[in-house]
């Protein structure tokens, strides 16, 4: 079922005579559990047209480098294959998304897209809406509850958004039915300059992107996401409430890169968790992260135009950090020291090495990693930039609403004020916490060194 509130008309154009229904796939890069895709199939059946799926690959996506593109291309390769199994043709084109979508829309009767929340994704949709002559509809599928339904404004924190989300869950936690495709589109001939996805690494060669980073091949795609989720549920979910704070074990779900690229649906993950044979409190703990925390991030980037800068922080946090900006620091590092994991602290260095080697940091250590950059940088603005740069360059789940919310959290966003102290002012300080036990720190550091 596709709830009406997931749908939004982005222009006001009448149906146009065309050869296909076009689904511009952008944020939801998957062939299943995708409301936008199923809606596009419904439209195609209703209007008796074939469905064409277009993915426009730009090599100008802010902060994206070869590591991210490889993960994305591996996912697209699988999505193209899976759509073909459903008799749907997917074409991948290099170039500016607005131009490509406008061009393909000339022959479309109806245009559907999914919904990403970042500034650039919104700008693309606005420009496409101005340029196309057929009806253009957006279908929200990257969250459980549509952002505007949850709240009409920016939320203060998890405690304010939680009850609003919970009130809506029953309406949106409904499995999505797969539509049958009535008019197959596989017979569309090859389009000129269409990208051949058979060798993703080859495509990287001719993209104008930053390639000065170690690649992490064979990770992307829906099948891998589902296999990881299955293993997590079978072996780790029952201990999630406690083990998630222990970085010496690699027992988290690792869903964030797949969610970021839309290779797995949050609704699918939620259904799998709800059906798992574990106590209710365990499910609640996991869903608190997946739904409450994640959708709080969507709320943040949707309603706060400064989500990627120091200006996006609450004014109390900006004021207190500015007041303490010249406080003396026992340790003092620049971007280069951080990037090369050259601090005095073996735990911090291990976190940075984990990020560089694997494209992720254990969730618990990630908070420590962020807070220490604030503590050891020249000033809070520099710390903010350093974190954005490191997180978004190396993390496979980087450049996500969660990235901006996670980094802003280190500076007081979505948090309350605490007792005043040097450097942090009233912003929450974080020591080693759970990792102060030497045995845990050692086990974590060794785990990372072995990688």
Ligand X SMILES: Cc1cc2nc3c(=O)[nH]c(=O)nc-3n(C[C@H](O)[C@H](O)[C@H](O)COP(=O)(O)OP(=O)(O)OC[C@H]3O[C@@H](n4cnc5c(N)ncnc54)[C@H](O)[C@@H]3O)c2cc1C
One residue of 307, 403, 445, 448 binding ligand X per CB under 6 A: 403
Instruction: State in angstroms the smallest separation of the CB of 68 from ligand X.
Output: 11
Give one DSSP letter per residue of 350-362, joined into a string.
HHHHHHHHHS---
One residue of 6, 228, 244, 393 binding ligand X per CB under 6 A: 244
Instruction: State in angstroms the smallest separation of the CB of 262 from ligand X.
Output: 12
Q: Tokens 């420009």 label which residue?
A: 127
One residue of 259, 313, 374, 423 binding ligand X per CB under 6 A: 259
Q: Does 157 bind ligand X (CB under 6 A)?
A: no
For the chain, report the end-to-end CA distance as a whole number of angstroms: 44
* CB nearer to ligand X: pick between 22 and 407: 407
Six token digits for residue 162: 């939680």
Q: Does 233 bind ligand X (CB under 6 A)?
A: no
Contact 95, 58 (CB under 8 A): yes
One residue of 79, 113, 151, 256 binding ligand X per CB under 6 A: 256
Q: Does 365 bind ligand X (CB under 6 A)?
A: no
d(CA 37, CA 84): 13
Q: Does 254 bind ligand X (CB under 6 A)?
A: yes
Q: Is 387 exposed, middle or buried (0-12, 13-18, 19+ CB in 10 A)?
A: buried
One residue of 23, 409, 424, 444 binding ligand X per CB under 6 A: 409
Q: Does 367 bind ligand X (CB under 6 A)?
A: yes
One residue of 66, 298, 410, 445 binding ligand X per CB under 6 A: 410
Instruction: State in angstroms the smallest separation of the CB of 7 from ligand X.
Output: 24
Kind and range of the H or E run holding 108? strand 108-113
Contact 427, 317 (CB under 8 A): yes
* CB nearer to ligand X: pick between 157 and 363: 363
Residues 71, 77, 83, 85: what is their CA dihedral angle, to the nearest 10 degrees? -130
Could you tell me the strand order of the sheet in which 89-94 lies? 7-9, 136-139, 108-113, 20-24, 51-57, 89-94
SS3 176: coil
- Contacts with ligand X: how many residues (CB under 6 A)? 28
d(CA 68, CA 46): 37
Q: Does 351 bind ligand X (CB under 6 A)?
A: no
Q: Does 383 bind ligand X (CB under 6 A)?
A: no
Q: Does 304 bind ligand X (CB under 6 A)?
A: no
One residue of 6, 30, 43, 294 binding ligand X per CB under 6 A: 294
Write the secondary structure of 31-62 as one string of H (helix), E (strand) and C (coil). CCCCHHHHHHHHHHHHHCCCEEEEEEECCCCC
* CB nearer to ligand X: pick between 62 and 202: 62
Choose one: 50-58, 110-118, 391-399, 428-436; the region binding ligand X (CB under 6 A).
391-399
Candidates 121, 41, 17, 142; CA nearest to 89 is: 41
Q: Does 90 bind ligand X (CB under 6 A)?
A: no
Q: Tokens 């930039």 label which residue?
A: 385
One residue of 64, 134, 195, 255 binding ligand X per CB under 6 A: 255
Q: Does 290 bind ligand X (CB under 6 A)?
A: yes
Q: Does 63 bind ligand X (CB under 6 A)?
A: no
One residue of 68, 89, 224, 293 binding ligand X per CB under 6 A: 293
Name the site residues for ligand X (rule: CB under 6 A).
244, 252-256, 259-260, 289-290, 293-294, 297, 363, 366-367, 370, 391, 395, 397-398, 400, 402-403, 406-407, 409-410
């Amino acid at each position: 079922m596709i709830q009406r509130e997931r749908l939004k008309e982005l222009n006001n154009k009448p149906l146009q005579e065309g050869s296909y229904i076009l689904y511009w796939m952008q944020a939801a890069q998957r062939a299943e559990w995708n409301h936008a895709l199923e809606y596009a199939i419904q439209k195609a059946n209703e209007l008796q047209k074939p469905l064409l799926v277009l993915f426009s690959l730009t090599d100008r996506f802010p902060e994206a480098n070869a590591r991210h593109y490889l993960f994305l291309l591996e996912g697209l390769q699988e999505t193209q294959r899976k759509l073909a199994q459903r008799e749907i043709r997917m074409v991948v084109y290099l170039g500016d998304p607005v131009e490509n979508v406008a061009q393909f829309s000339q022959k479309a009767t109806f245009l559907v897209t999914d919904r990403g929340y970042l500034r650039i994704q919104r700008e693309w949709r606005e420009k496409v809406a101005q340029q196309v002559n057929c009806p253009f509809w957006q279908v929200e599928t990257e969250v459980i509850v549509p952002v505007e339904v949850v709240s009409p404004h920016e939320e203060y924190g998890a405690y304010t958004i939680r009850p609003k989300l919970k009130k809506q869950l029953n309406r949106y936690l409904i499995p999505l039915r797969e539509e049958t495709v009535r008019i197959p589109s596989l017979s569309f001939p090859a389009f000129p300059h269409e990208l051949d996805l058979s060798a993703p690494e080859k495509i990287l060669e001719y993209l104008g992107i930053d390639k000065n980073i170690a690649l992490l091949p064979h990770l992307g795609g829906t099948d891998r996401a589902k296999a990881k989720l299955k293993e997590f549920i079978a072996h780790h979910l029952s201990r999630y409430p406690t083990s998630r704070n222990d970085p010496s074990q690699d027992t988290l779900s690792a869903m964030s890169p797949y969610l970021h690229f839309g290779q797995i649906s949050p609704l699918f993950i939620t259904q799998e968790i709800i059906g798992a044979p574990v106590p209710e409190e365990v499910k609640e703990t996991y869903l608190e992260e997946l739904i409450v925390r994640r959708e709080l991030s969507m709320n943040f980037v949707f309603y706060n135009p400064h989500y990627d800068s120091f200006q996006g922080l609450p004014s109390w946090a900006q004021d207190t950090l500015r007041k303490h900006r010249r406080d003396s620091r026992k340790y003092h590092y620049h971007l280069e020291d951080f990037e090369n994991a050259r601090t005095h602290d073996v735990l911090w260095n291990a976190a940075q090495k984990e990020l560089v080697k694997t494209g992720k940091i254990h969730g618990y250590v990630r908070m420590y990693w962020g807070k220490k950059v604030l503590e050891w940088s020249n000033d809070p603005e520099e710390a903010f930039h350093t974190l954005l740069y490191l997180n978004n360059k190396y993390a496979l789940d980087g450049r996500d609403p969660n990235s901006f919310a996670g980094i802003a959290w280190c500076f007081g966003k979505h948090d309350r004020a605490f007792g005043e102290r040097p450097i942090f002012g009233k912003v929450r300080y974080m020591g080693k916490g759970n990792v102060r036990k030497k045995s845990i720190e050692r086990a974590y550091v060794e785990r990372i060194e072995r990688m």
